[in-house]
Structure 1
Amino acid sequence: MGELHKLDNQSQLIVAIKTNDSVALKALYISNYAKIESLVLSNSGTKEDAKDVYQDAFIVVWNNIKNNTFIPLNESAIQGYLYTIAKNKWMDIIKSSRFKKTKSTYEEKSFAYKSDEVHEDDSSNEKMKATMDAFKNLGEPCKQLLTSFYYEKKTLKDIASALNIEENTVRNKKYRCMEKLRTMVLPQKT
């Protein structure tokens, strides 16, 4: 319970993130997941969609705090930042043509925040740690591409221009890198 209390103090939480304090990171991961799952499920998504979006958002927040590009201004800033990034990622997904093709009955709704009880899920703990480890072990081209997109907030067009390749190629590479990351993290179905 002492570690969960640590989440109330943003400066302690920042230190915990920067030092890769696995107990505090797990507590942060678990304590915020239910809100994102509720958001995704109430807006045409599945539990798998929620896990994927949350993982992506968590990595962005983790990176931005470690690199001092996000400085929390109040005692709930990190949690709010995590929620906002996940929400924006999910909005981008549901607006994509690929999602609309698979969810043809989807009607755009306003995003409703629902406060659910936090479910402590051991698989979420393991998934968060596995995601962090997998990101460190990604090949340099993938790490660079994902860092440019998620951390440096560069557009696919900007990345394509810098690499002197087509935007579609960058989009495909980013997709393959994320798939590689997911493959490294998610257990293989047999």
Structure 2
Amino acid sequence: MRKSIHALSQTELIDALKMNDSYILKQFYTLHYKKIEALVLKNSGTIEHAKDVYQDAFVTVWTHVKTDKFVPKNDTALQGYLYSIAKNKWTDVLRSKSFKNANKLNELTLTDVKDSTEDAAQEQDLKLKTAMAAFKNLGQPCKQLLGDYYFEKKSLKQIAQQFNIEENTARNKKYRCMEKLRNMVIAPKKQQLGR
């Protein structure tokens, strides 16, 4: 029986990461994702942003561990290090000009729901229905790609292989499809406001 990540000391955890122990790497990755997701969602981000930031932070931490740039000072040092790197990366994204511009289009995906009052819940419900209706009206390639990524949880690498394209092309297509979906959702909202 393999040791759970919770049973490892900080030194054992670092040794396991250095040896590319896939079992421990996967546990470590999964264990800390939700905390980073919560941070990003609370600060104007989406789940997609959270995944990107977390992956970047995780790879950075893993690289620093392997090259001995990180030395633990206590039993939760590595977890704290991962969190602070993710937080810094997200702060950089928030400060970037491209995020500020994209954020104007992103009004619908922001988690700015106040307390869980009935109005807020109804508004969220309406947003979800509008987004799902727009999703149904997307062209088949976009619907397939976004469905595979968000609902089937396939990686961009898997999607690229499936569509027989480069991974970078798949990333660009996903971005363009999301923009198309956002515009389809925002347009009816603007029409309602214009009435």
The TM tier, using the shorter chain, reads 0.5 to 0.7
Find the aligned partners of 1:44 and 1:95 in 2 and give their Cα distance.
Answer: 12
Q: Give the aligned CA root-mean-square deviation in angstroms.
A: 3.2
TM-score, length-scaled by structure 1:
0.55
Aligned twin of 2:80: 80
Deviations 1:108-161 (A, max 9, x none): xxxxxxxxxxxxxxx88x96xx8xxxxxxxxxxxxxxxxxxxxxxxxxxxxxxx
Contact 1:53 1:90 in 2 (8 A): yes
- Against the structure 1 CA distance between its residues 8 and 76, is the aligned structure 2 distance closer, same or farther, given a 3 Å change threshold? farther
Structure 1 stretches of 4+ with a deviation exceeding 4 A read none
Contact 1:18 1:66 in 2 (8 A): yes
Aligned twin of 2:66: 66
Aligned twin of 1:26: 26
Give the aligned length: 120
Find the aligned partners of 2:84 and 2:25 in 1 and give their Cα distance.
Answer: 18
Find the aligned partners of 1:82 and 1:185 in 2 and give their Cα distance.
Answer: 28
Find the aligned partners of 2:85 and 2:39 in 1 and give their Cα distance.
Answer: 12
Contact 2:32 2:79 in 1 (8 A): yes
Q: Which fold has the larger relative contact order, with Cα–Cα distance below 8 Å and residues 6 or more apart in sequence?
A: 1
Find the aligned partners of 1:63 and 1:75 in 2 and give their Cα distance.
Answer: 20
Contact 1:57 1:82 in 2 (8 A): yes
- How do 1:1-190 and structure 2 match up within 5 A? 3-6=3-6, 8-104=8-104, 183=168
Aligned twin of 1:168: none
Q: CA deviation at 1:83?
A: 0.4
More helix by share: 2
Contact 2:57 2:85 in 1 (8 A): yes
| Unmatched runs of 5 consecutive residues or more in structure 1 | 107-122, 131-179
Deviations 1:72-117 (A, max 9, x none): 11000000000000000000100111111111399xxxxxxxxxxx
